[in-house]
Structure 1
Amino acid sequence: MSNKTVRWGLLGAGRITNTFAKDMPLVNNSVISAVAARSLNNAQAFAEKYAIEKAYEGYDALYADPDIDVIYISTPHTLHYEQTRKALLAGKHVLCEKPFVVSPEQGEELTQLAKQKGLFLMEAMWTWFLPAIQKAQQWVREGRIGELKEIQADFGFPIEYGPEKREWNVELAGGCTFDMGIYPVALNRLFNHDEPLNWQITGKRAENGADKTIKAILDYGDRLSILGSSFEYKLPNYAFILGTEGYVAIPDFWCASSAKLFNGDECIETFVDERKGTGFEFQIQHTVDSILAECSESQVVSHEDSLAFQRDIQRILTAF
């Protein structure tokens, strides 16, 4: 099957879909065959920009298109469940933007449906595929920082308040935890697979009830994790993986292009990736390779990983 081309349909034509389309030329055995948007004009403009053969108004035609193998979903969080469900019922593989859904129950239903249908389904946690993040994992696995003791990760920057804005709109699962907190939550889960013994969570909410700043301390007994996100102010957006003999520092970890390994105060190794694209190309290639290998689940971002993200987010949001 290695010479087969996987044909993509894009569901949504917004900013993040542009990033996806820009990185597609860097992916092997892969082509975008169609794009669907609420507005036909938007779909046609997107199709013309990226030389995509077909443009659809609305999404039903995309689900029904027999020439589409996999659908990439990049709409607001609250639409992901229904759109992923329809795509799977139509026999399409799915790569769905994070957060994959807005409750653990939705996630359970969709992962079960994908398994029943024998279809590949993955949350687009692109951070996990970045070379700098994978290098950090390698350093930790090799014992370069000694015994893992603490994860620190935060992601936030100010977004002007407006209850009608997508980021703040509670009807669209607005708030910093789903929008930005998913990144530190996922980074923590990459290194801590077990469940915390204790949580300490504090947060602030906007006038409409949307969460605007959160801090969470997770106690694993022999380890701690300190996670944060905010719509109120700029956070460092760093990840630190701390051990008994050293630590790893990753600037802008959510889109990481570099990582540094420290022993005490001394930087003993620096990794800088040489990617040609934005960084989406790695998760796209993984999806394509998984589909061609007839996998129903990713070996990197598993269904259980995505369900764990949802459980952690719900724990945070219900604590304050």
Structure 2
Amino acid sequence: MSSESESDYGLSHVPEAASIEAPKLDYLPKVPDGYRPKIGLIGAGGITEYHLRAYQAMGLDVVAICDIDRSRAESRAKEFYPESSVHEDFRDVLRRDDIEVVDITPHPAERVEIVTEALEAGKHVLSQKPFVEDLDVGERLVELAEQKGFILAVNQNGRWAPHFRYLTQAVRAGLVGPVSSIDFSMQWDHTWTAGTPFEEIHHLLLYDFSIHWFDMMTVLLSGQRPERVFASIQRASYQQVKPPFLGQVVVDFPNTQAHLGLNAHVVWGQLDRTTVVGHEGTLRATGPSLNEQSVDFWNEDGQAHLDLQGCWFENGFQGTMAELLSAIEQKREPENSARNVLVGLELCFAAIASADSGEPKRPGEIRRL
């Protein structure tokens, strides 16, 4: 008979964790040193409040705002950049020689033509996410940008959310060693989409929302190619919003697995948690919302806790534009280049196809929605 205490049998040993100092990592976006081009905003819908608020905070020069609904463009200009010109036709913005960078925000189906003409007109482009609905179209836009010699970046702003950026920098610094698993678990209230155009997107969770998390999988596991995706979606019995608000996704990478769990119909006890487990340590970001997150880090020396500065809807939108401007200034490819984000879209499209078919899919095989 074993001499071990019955109370310990079958239980995981949890080592004592001394309190240690959180690793100092550079996780807040930085504005380019000297490059301050004139910027045009095309599309003045709801999300552009955060674009313009971020640009204003960084001291960037937005000189034109365009929307097919002139009143929306006028409202944005009045609130953020009263000296900017207002337009209804995006081509009026593209014809201006003084504008070097355009931020293009309409929905994907409308955006392709605008991005194409912007590159043809000799502009650097920041495209709203999700980048495209067809991977072949996305690749053609990437090739066009390279042919013309201009940079095409995508507003995958989650990359500069403070908690995601800290986790990314920690993984890049080797603080957890080889990563074995990533777990994203979200319980939040997405019912604000009722009565909006978003409610008409059947795969609202897996496409428009989860593209951030598919993108973060590729960032945290940079250099690894995903091999297989399995996803399922379901409607909660009490939900009134049209799209299914429950979802699960499992992505197999070589020697690594990533999991995404979603419940978008939670009122009480909302939680957003990300756990990255490696051979030499564990990172966990936790909070009640996307904008309220703290990070914990465990390794053999102990446990560190960090209350982060900033928030997603401030730093995220600053980071995407700041990275584009820095890349232009330094003549390099930005981290959020369109070519780079296509891998996350491959995951997204495979997950949607898997949810529809009930079968696992290989990323890259599903070329369009």
Q: TM-score, normalised to structure 2's length?
A: 0.75
Distance 1:106 1:211, change over 3 A: farther
Counterpart-to-counterpart distance in 1, 2:129 and 2:338: 13
What is aligned with 1:246? 281
Number of aligned positions between the proteins? 315
Paired AA for residue 339 in structure 2: E
Say yes or no: does 1:45 pair with 2:62.
no
Q: 1:81 is matched with which residue: 105, 112, 115?
A: 112
Conserved? CA contact 1:101–1:107, under 8 Å? yes
What is aligned with 1:141? 172
Say yes or no: does 1:192 pair with 2:225.
no
Q: 2:306 is matched with which residue: 259, 270, 287?
A: 270
Counterpart-to-counterpart distance in 1, 2:312 and 2:220: 27
Q: 2:64 is matched with which residue: 31, 34, 47?
A: 34
Distance 1:221 1:95, change over 3 A: closer
What is aligned with 1:111? 142
Deviations 1:42-86 (A, max 9, x none): 212221222242001232212222221111122223322222112
Say yes or no: does 1:284 pair with 2:327.
no
Q: Quick check: 190-199 or 200-209, which moved more?
A: 200-209
Q: Quick check: 112-121 or 212-221, which moved more?
A: 212-221
Distance 1:142 1:120, change over 3 A: closer
Q: Quick check: 175-184 or 216-225, which moved more?
A: 216-225
Deviations 1:85-115 (A, max 9, x none): 1211222111011111122112111111111
Deviation at 1:200, TM superposition (A): 2.5
Deviations 1:182-225 (A, max 9, x none): 12101111122322333322223799995543311122342211
Deviation at 1:272, TM superposition (A): 1.6
Deviation at 1:32, TM superposition (A): 0.3
Point out where structure 2 has 5 or more consecutive residues left out of the alignment: 1-31, 357-369
Q: Quick check: 225-234 or 18-27, which moved more?
A: 225-234
Say yes or no: does 1:22 pair with 2:53.
yes
Counterpart-to-counterpart distance in 2, 1:126 and 1:160: 22
Point out where structure 1 has 5 or more consecutive residues left out of the alignment: none
Paired AA for residue 304 in structure 1: R
Q: TM-score, normalised to structure 1's length?
A: 0.85
Q: Quick check: 136-145 or 60-69, which moved more?
A: 136-145
Paired AA for residue 267 in structure 1: Q
Q: 1:310 is matched with which residue: 345, 354, 366?
A: 345
Deviation at 1:259, TM superposition (A): 2.2
Distance 1:218 1:34, change over 3 A: same
Paired AA for residue 226 in structure 2: P
- Please tell me the root mean square deviation across aligned C-alpha atoms, in Å: 3.2
Conserved? CA contact 1:262–1:269, under 8 Å? no
Conserved? CA contact 2:122–2:150, under 8 Å? yes
Distance 1:276 1:308, change over 3 A: closer
Deviation at 1:124, TM superposition (A): 0.8
Conserved? CA contact 2:119–2:125, under 8 Å? yes
